[in-house]
Amino acid sequence: MAVRTDKISPTCIWVALKRLDLNDDQVTIVKDVGSLQGLDTAAAKQVLFNSFGLTDTTLVLKLRNNRGYLVPINGELNVNNRQSPYILEVTKLFQHVVPRPRTDPMTVINKGLKNRLQNIMKRIERMEELAPEVKVRRQDKLNEEVELLNQKLQFLNQRMQIADSTVWKGMFKRPPLW
C-alpha cells in the first residue's frame, strides 16, 4: 500500500461507507482508501475490507458512483474527490432477496411419478386378468387356421387325384372344333 501524506494526492480514491447490513441507510464514514490502480478484484476488495475495518468476509460489497450506478470493484476505478465519493454499500448475503412461497419441485415430481406408476399398475392388472383369456383366444385362432389349412389340403388332394386319374388314350373323345 502506498505511503500516505497529509497532502491530497491526485491518485486517491474517496469512499463513503453505508452499512446496510446493520440497517443503517446513512453514510457513516468518508475515507480515502488510497490508490487501487493495478489491483485485481480480490485485492481491491481486501483493501476496502481493511480500510473500513470489516472482518466478516461473507459480507457483500457494492460500490456505487456519485450518480448511484453500480461500479465494478477493481483497479480501474477513476480518481474522485471528497465532495463526490464512491459509496460502498455493505450488505449481508441475500439481504435484499425476499423468498416467495413456492411449491416444492419434489412434490410435483412425486405426484407425476405416482400417476405414471398407477397407470402402469392398472395396465399390468388388466393384462393379468386377460392372460387366461388370451391363451384361450390364441388356441381358438390356431384351431381355426389348422382347420382352414386342412380344407385347402383336402381340396388340393382331390384335384391331384383327378389329374392323376386321366390317361392318354391317343385321341380326343370329341373332335376339336377348329
State how far the alpha carbon of 45 is from the alpha carbons of 61, 73, 74, in Å: 8, 7, 8
Per-residue confidence (pLDDT) for residue 6, from 0 to 100 = 42
Judge if pTM exceeds 0.75: no
E strands present in 20-85: 27-32, 60-64, 70-71
CATH number of 14-91: 3.10.20
Per-residue confidence (pLDDT) for residue 161, from 0 to 100 = 84
Side chain identity at residue 139, one-letter code:
Q
Per-residue confidence (pLDDT) for residue 101, from 0 to 100 = 72
Per-residue confidence (pLDDT) for residue 95, from 0 to 100 = 81
Per-residue confidence (pLDDT) for residue 3, from 0 to 100 = 43
Cell of 7: 497532502
Q: Give the Cα separation of 158 and 22 in Å (integer).
A: 109
Each residue's pLDDT, cut to its tens digit, for the chain (178 residues) gives: 444 444 445 568 899 999 988 888 888 888 888 888 888 889 989 999 998 998 888 899 999 998 989 999 988 888 888 889 999 999 988 887 776 777 667 777 888 889 999 999 999 888 888 877 878 888 899 999 999 999 999 999 998 888 777 666 666 666 666 6
For CA atoms 44, 49, 55, 58, give the dihedral sign.
negative
